[in-house]
Amino acid sequence: MENPTSVPELMQFVQTTLQNMQEKFQNVEDSIVRRMTETGKRLDELEKGLTDLMDHSGMGEPYEEDLESDKDFSDTDKGR
């Protein structure tokens, strides 16, 4: 539609434009959700791979003193 010359043409133009915008936003939303899902799956695979690697290298189980030092850091962060 070129330039609307009447109120009904203007209303149709606005309605069509809004529908087009809604479709584009929906497509963008779908794309973002799909990418976030794919990224989440990749992060899960990476985490599993790192855990397996740590387990095979003997680093999978933290020592008790490591747990205590982590606790000390988390207690410090609570005061912030």
Q: Is the model's pLDDT at 10 over the cut of 70?
A: yes
- Where b means 16+ CB within 10 Å and e means fewer, 33-62 reads eeeeeeeeeeeeeeeeeeeeeeeeeeeeee
pLDDT in tens, 11-67: 999 999 999 999 999 999 999 999 999 999 999 999 999 999 988 888 766 555 555
For residue 9, the model assigns a pLDDT of 95
pTM of the model: 0.56
* Spatial separation of the C-alpha atoms in residues 54 and 76, rounded to whole Å: 27
